[in-house]
Amino acid sequence: MTAILKTVAPTLQIGSARVPQSADGRLHAASALAVLGLTQAAGWARQDWESPHWAAFEHTHQLSRVLSDFGAGPEPTLSVAEFVALAARSDTTPARRIQRRMQQSYARALTGDIHLAAEIAERNAEPLSRSWLHARLESQDARRTLMSAAARHGGHGPVFGQLGSVSNRSVLGKDSATLRRERGVKHTRDGLSTDELRRLSYLDAATAAALEGGQIEGNDAILELHRKVARRERQTWAGGLERAS
Amino acid sequence: MTAILKTVAPTLQIGSARVPQSADGRLHAASALAVLGLTQAAGWARQDWESPHWAAFEHTHQLSRVLSDFGAGPEPTLSVAEFVALAARSDTTPARRIQRRMQQSYARALTGDIHLAAEIAERNAEPLSRSWLHARLESQDARRTLMSAAARHGGHGPVFGQLGSVSNRSVLGKDSATLRRERGVKHTRDGLSTDELRRLSYLDAATAAALEGGQIEGNDAILELHRKVARRERQTWAGGLERAS
């Protein structure tokens, strides 16, 4: 058996072009500008980035100067956000093509195009990102299952929000608002680890299953059951080390 | 047990707004234009769509007139693509906010942001879309596993393309170019059903496992093995009805 070691320089695929990326994900400015058809600026970025021309270009487009070495000494880079902003405001044929693609992509995102979701997930090279994606979608399904089970067992009004709070507080050890603040995310789910999502799915599914199998009816009884299941789940997760409270 | 029947009028979430949608997914024009801050045009769309003002607006923005009944008689609609194009070229505060969101979304899509992939998948209400997404990501993983197994067993050069062709032809009964033409898709994977993706994953994984367990070495032997596994898989799928050829 031969070990296969292939070091491929990272690139970002933009349409049919591949733009070299630095280790921290910034784009090689000269290549990125060439993709936008901004040939003069691309020339400055490649050979003349210490000139006043390039400085003026940076100033006009509010670009921060971050240099990176792609093998030929330090060269200017663009963040992906800077590249996209430039594409949006440039009036060249290739930039207009990217603008159309940007609009198509946004329309597809708005309508929940599952092919687009797949394309984006496939672009993610992080091996664990797919488990995270699966766990997140699963947790949404499990939460829905719990809510319909509760509704079928006489749950109404406040119980739906409370069930979610019990789950979150039990698994995360804090309420959602605190978690969002601590982890710096806008939506709670974006801040959860794969294991936390799995535990939430499991807990919600376990209560839903227990509801379906029993005679429980009404908000109070549903919540009591869910708190009991949550306590057990915490013990299981802790390997039996945590004492039921 | 009470059956819960809830008929919710479909809406498209755009930022914090919810725009009513027709059964075929078109947006209620008056609401959509209001979201863009185009209040005058929104007024025409709501009350005065038979006026020359609205006709001129439609003409300027190349909108096709498609009416739909949202409960108050026929009213103009916009496709999501028309809405996004209008957002991109309007110079109101809300439109500029959507332009920024569009740029952020595109930058995240380019970099394979898994949170964005999840958000898009969650917007998709079609119950089977998640199985499809899982199957598609799985099939990509299985294909990669097969390719590395082949490489570890002395596969090189043309064998990688040939392995993929054998899989596709065996499961789909035709080559990828024909499939793309017949199903009207740009990328083969977008045109495959969940079952086809599952079969491809299974077949690629089965050959990879057989390679790892055996003494097979080199392009010809690898391809012969893969063809044999493919034949068996077709028989299994056909419930044993197909005779090995």
Residues A213-228 have pLDDT tens digits of 889 999 999 999 999 9
Is A59 inside any structural domain?
yes
Residue B27: Cβ-neighbour burial (10 angstroms; 0-12, 13-18, 19+): buried
The DSSP bridge pattern shows strands A67-69 and A74-78 to be antiparallel
The verdict on B32 and B96 lying in the same domain is: yes
Domain stops at, among A76, A104, A121? A121
Q: Which two tokens stand for residue B10?
A: 């479909």
Decide if B109 and A88 are in contact by the 8 Å CB cutoff.
no
The DSSP bridge pattern shows strands B67-69 and B74-78 to be antiparallel
Q: What is the pLDDT of residue B239?
A: 81
Partner A contacted by B226 (CB < 8 A): no
What is the arithmetic mean of pLDDT over A143-162? 95
The verdict on A95 and A189 lying in the same domain is: no
Is B2 inside any structural domain?
no
C-alpha separations of B149 from A175, B127, B139, B214 in Å = 46, 35, 15, 11
Is B29 inside any structural domain?
yes
Q: What is the pLDDT of residue B59?
A: 96
The verdict on A240 and A131 lying in the same domain is: yes
A44-53, B204-213, B230-239: least confident range = B230-239
Considering only alpha carbons, which residue of chain A is nearest residue B190? A115
Decide if B105 and A103 are in contact by the 8 Å CB cutoff.
no
pLDDT tens-place string over residues B108-128: 999 999 999 999 999 998 878
Domain stops at, among B121, B146, B172? B121
The verdict on B94 and B200 lying in the same domain is: no
Quote the CA–CA distance of A191 and A207 in Å, as a whole number: 24
Q: In angstroms, how far apart are the furthest CA atoms of chain B? A: 78
The whole-model pTM stands at 0.86
Q: Which two tokens stand for residue A240?
A: 């039996």
Is B5 inside any structural domain?
no
Partner B contacted by A84 (CB < 8 A): yes
The verdict on A99 and A132 lying in the same domain is: no
Cα B165–chain centre separation: 23
Q: Which residue has the higher pLDDT, B240 or B196?
A: B196
pLDDT tens-place string over residues B68-85: 999 989 999 999 999 999
Partner A contacted by B186 (CB < 8 A): no
- Phi, psi of B99, deg, nearest 5: -60, -40
The verdict on B103 and B170 lying in the same domain is: no
Is B3 inside any structural domain?
no
- pLDDT over 60 (residue A7): no
Is B202 inside any structural domain?
yes
The verdict on A104 and A169 lying in the same domain is: no
- pLDDT over 80 (residue B7): no
- Per 3-state DSSP, chain B is made up of helix, strand and coil in percentages (nearest 5) of 60, 10, 30
Q: Give the gap in angstroms from C-alpha B160 to the nearest C-alpha of chain A.
A: 15
Q: What is the pLDDT of residue B225?
A: 96
The verdict on B138 and B187 lying in the same domain is: yes
Q: Give the gap in angstroms from C-alpha A8 to the nearest C-alpha of chain B.
A: 16
The verdict on A59 and A99 lying in the same domain is: yes
Is A5 inside any structural domain?
no
Q: Which candidate in A4, A14, A115, A123 is best for mutational testing of the B interface (most B CBs within 10 A)?
A: A115
Q: A121 with A129: CB under 8 angstroms?
A: yes
The verdict on A116 and A139 lying in the same domain is: no
Beta carbons within 8 Å of B169's beta carbon, 6+ residues apart: B175
| Residue B243 binned pLDDT confidence (cut-offs 50, 70, 90) | low
What is the arithmetic mean of pLDDT over A111-117? 95
Is B1 inside any structural domain?
no
| Residue A95 binned pLDDT confidence (cut-offs 50, 70, 90) | very high
A120-134, B37-51, B193-207: least confident range = A120-134
Q: A197 with A203: CB under 8 angstroms?
A: no
Quote the CA–CA distance of A140 and B118 in Å, as a whole number: 10
Residue A21: Cβ-neighbour burial (10 angstroms; 0-12, 13-18, 19+): buried
Contacts 24+ apart (CB under 8 A), B27-35: B27/B77, B27/B78, B27/B79, B27/B80, B27/B83, B28/B68, B28/B70, B28/B75, B28/B77, B29/B75, B29/B76, B29/B77, B29/B78, B30/B75, B30/B76, B32/B78, B32/B83, B33/B78, B33/B86, B35/B94
Q: Which two tokens stand for residue B165?
A: 């062709």
Domain stops at, among A121, A139, A168? A121
The verdict on B222 and B176 lying in the same domain is: yes
Task: Specify the number of domains making up chain B.
Answer: 2
The verdict on A117 and A18 lying in the same domain is: yes
Of A13, A88, A133, the CB nearest to B118: A133
Q: What is the pLDDT of residue A187?
A: 87
Q: Which domain holds residue A106?
A: 11-121
| Residue B240 binned pLDDT confidence (cut-offs 50, 70, 90) | low
Beta carbons within 8 Å of B120's beta carbon, 6+ residues apart: A108, A109, A112, A113, A114, A116, A117, A120
Partner B contacted by A11 (CB < 8 A): no
Q: B37 with B93: CB under 8 angstroms?
A: yes
